[in-house]
Structure formats: structure tokens, C-alpha cells
Amino acid sequence: MTIAAPLWSTLPVPPTELCLDKVLRCGQSFRWKLSAPNEWTCTLRGRVVTLQQEPSHIKYRAVFPPGRSDSTTPTNDDTEELLRDYFNLSVNLEALYSHWSSVDPNFLKKSTTFAGIRILRQDPWENVVSFICSSNNNISRISQMVNNLCLHFGPHLATIDSIDYHDFPEPSALAVPGVEQRLRELGFGYRAKYIAKAALLVANERVPGWLNSLRKVSYREAHDTLLELPGVGPKVADCVCLMSLDKPGALPVDTHVWQIAQRDYKFKGVKGKTLNKTTYDAIGDHFRKLWGEEAGWAHSVLFTADLKAFSEVKNETTVVSTKAVLTAQVETLMQNTSIKQEQSMMTAETSRKRVKREDVEEKEGEKEINDGVAETSSLVDRIKRRRRSGRS
């Protein structure tokens, strides 16, 4: 049954505090879609949320599943509270930008064009799975994988304008027989194994709310604990710490960030052509010393500024370039359409090519994950031994 959309409500947040077009396309969350120009839609905590950016505020509306119509009344609808939490709106972003600009000329140079980029406060389980998918991958393909995960395993919430919306699946939904094989059929490759194993661990071997409880511990403890999850190395652990667990100093380092450090900050660090643990830690410490306690937030601004998806606005001097934003949004809508056409036209030949490509990715991705995990395995073993000795 198709559900009619409710009226819009207003969230008084200017683009300098939250720029939707950049925040929702910069590789933090992978489920927001352009449902129309300047209109972003995603399922969040049991509802379908749609956002629009205005010059002085953000418009939003929420659609709840059938049978929960009472939740849409003004007294019961907690969507504004949800959005304030999800977008970390208690943090004064303009004040942080001012500080980073005062200590970093490179940040100052890019801050005006790339204003309003803030760190999301996402569900930790969704974040873990999304960044397991990120191994040896790009934003477009990660988004496809996460969308397929919701479509095939997540609960259906609503159908709006003939589009079905599914929420993100709980660990228990992915901790059943056949999940790994089904994910491989959907193109997840080697990542399927890690997602299935992580779901089994979280659903069957951890207490409810275990991941959320890591918000209350130190960064180091949260990071080291996440390394116990299959498929989670240092970078994925830092992504989850930063974007879900309230650790603003967590700084995910990949080859992209390494290039920024070398190109824009003349980072020498440790010699070598591979991003090993020593280099990883050195880059993070370098930026934490420069930017301070919220280094992860500052890092996200420069990471976004360096993405090819935003090349059209790199030379802009205004906070929001309407022409650039609309151009990018039209390209995204066209890309979404082409993806659907490509999926419907899948032939045996393209399927064979996909399998061959996935075989290559599997070797590269397994190496990427295993290298990161191997460097931290001894640390994880020490943590487990300490816990066992504490229980005895």
C-alpha cells in the first residue's frame, strides 16, 4: 500500500552548520538517496525520513509504517530529536571551523567552499557492516551493497511513490543459515563471509546493546574491542569510533588520507610504500597534534574536499553553489537509474565477468583486511587474556 507523505516540518539549521549535499555524499552513510532534486530520503529508526536544504534551514518529514499513524502526531513524533542526534547538532561546527582555520592554513583555504561538513552519529551496527563493505571498494558500490542488504534482509517500512523502503537489518536477521551464500550471489564477494560472521558474533555472543555501550568507554578500549569483530581492522574500527561511538579524535587513515598528508602537509613519517601500522598511527598522531581533540571531524572536511564527486565545487567561493549542487544531484539520479537498468539487463556473460572481477577483489581485499588484522592480532589476544584473567 502506497502511503501519502505528510507535511513538512522545519529544523532551524543553516548550511554552514549542515550541508546535506556534502555530508550525505562523502562516504559516512551509504543509504541516503536523492528522491528528487534537493530531496534526500533514508530509513532511520523505523521510519522513512526525507530532507530538503533551504538557505536558512532544513525541511523534514517522516513516514511511519502502517499501524503506527499515532506516532506522526505532533506530541509523539520524535523525528526532530532523532535528526538532532543523528547529525550531532549539539556540536557548534562554525566554532570548530574557526579553530581549525586558525591553526591550519590549508584548512582555512578549503573551509569556505566546504562548510557545513559534520560527523554523523549513526547506529554502530549499521556502521560496522557498511565499512566492512568498504574494503577495496568505492562509495558508489558500497551504496549498492548496503541498499541490497536492506532490500533483501531489512524490514519493509513503507512504499512511497511506488518505491519500497526497508530499514537496515538487525544482527539477528543476518545470523541465519544461508546468509553468506546469498550475499555472495548479490555481489558482496569475500565481504559476505565477514558480515555473516560478525552478525553471528553480535547476535549470539554479545549482550543486546553491546556496540552502543562502547560509547561510554575510552577511545582506545572501544577501538581495540571492535578489532575482535571479523573483517574489522584499524581503519574500519576508527570509522565506527568516529561516526558512531562519540570518539571525535578517531582518525581513519587509508591511502587517500595518506596522500593528503604527503601532498598538503609534507608528511614524511615512516619510509615505505605500504600503509603499515606504524605509518597509520603516525599520520593520525600528526593530525591530532595539529587539529586537537576533534581531529576526526577536521579530517572529514579535507577528505570530502578531495573526493572526485566534489571536483565541481573545489574552486567555488560560496557556501553552497546551487548550480554545482543541482548538477551533482542530476548526475546522481542518472547514476541510480543506470544502476537499475544495468541490473535488469544482467546476462550470463556479464555475470561471468562479475565473478572474475570478484575473484581478483577477493584476493586484494582479503590481503587488505588480513594485513590490518594481523598487525593488531597480538594486541587483541592480550586484551582477551586480560579479560579471562579478570574473570578467574
Both 256 and 366 in one domain: the answer is no
Q: pLDDT tens digits, residue range 334-383?
A: 445 444 444 444 444 444 555 555 555 666 666 666 555 445 444 445 44
Residues 6+ apart with CB under 8 A from 304: 22, 26, 27, 114, 117, 310
Both 286 and 371 in one domain: the answer is no
Both 229 and 162 in one domain: the answer is yes
Question: So what's the pLDDT on residue 318?
Answer: 40
Question: So what's the pLDDT on residue 275?
Answer: 84
Q: Assess whether pLDDT exceeds 60 at residue 67.
A: yes
Pairing of strands 163-166, 156-160: antiparallel
Q: What is the C-alpha separation between 377 and 339, in angstroms, rounded?
A: 39
- Give the CATH number, domain containing residue 270: 1.10.1670.10
Question: So what's the pLDDT on residue 219?
Answer: 98
Spatial CA neighbour of 55 closest among 240, 236, 320: 320
Q: State the residue range of the domain holding 100.
A: 92-119+248-314
Both 296 and 326 in one domain: the answer is no
- Give the CATH number, domain containing residue 156: 1.10.340.30
Both 300 and 193 in one domain: the answer is no
DSSP string, 238-292: HHHHHHHSS-TT-----HHHHHHHHHHH----S--SS--HHHHHHHHHHHHHHH-
Domains identified in the chain, total number: 2
Question: So what's the pLDDT on residue 271?
Answer: 62
pTM comes to: 0.84
Mean pLDDT of 172-194: 98
Q: CA 333, 24, 210: angle at the middle one, nearest 5?
A: 130
Question: So what's the pLDDT on residue 77?
Answer: 87
Both 305 and 344 in one domain: the answer is no
6 within domain boundaries: no
Question: So what's the pLDDT on residue 332?
Answer: 53
Mean pLDDT (the chain, rounded): 85
Of 281, 297, 314, at which residue does a domain stop? 314
Least confident of 82-96, 175-189, 255-269: 255-269
253 within domain boundaries: yes
Asked if 189 and 211 touch (Cβ cutoff 8 Å), the reply is: no
Asked if 19 and 117 touch (Cβ cutoff 8 Å), the reply is: yes
4 within domain boundaries: no
311-337 burial, b if ≥16 CB within 10 A, otherwise e?
eebeebeeebbeebbeebbeebeeebe
79 within domain boundaries: no
367 within domain boundaries: yes
Both 347 and 304 in one domain: the answer is no
CB-CB neighbours of 185 under 10 Å: 11
Both 108 and 205 in one domain: the answer is no
| pLDDT confidence tier of residue 76, bands split at 50, 70 and 90 | confident
User: What are the residue numbers of the active site?
Assistant: 235
20 within domain boundaries: no
Both 310 and 171 in one domain: the answer is no
Both 130 and 242 in one domain: the answer is yes
Of 314, 329, 350, at which residue does a domain stop? 314
Asked if 317 and 110 touch (Cβ cutoff 8 Å), the reply is: no
- Percent of the chain at pLDDT > 70 equals 75
By three-state DSSP, how is residue 121 classified? coil
Both 328 and 372 in one domain: the answer is yes
Both 196 and 225 in one domain: the answer is yes
Mean pLDDT of 176-202: 98
| pLDDT confidence tier of residue 272, bands split at 50, 70 and 90 | low
Which regions of the chain does DSSP assign to beta strands (E)?
9-11, 33-36, 39-44, 47-53, 58-63, 156-160, 163-166
Q: What is the C-alpha separation between 57 and 55, in angstroms, rounded?
A: 6
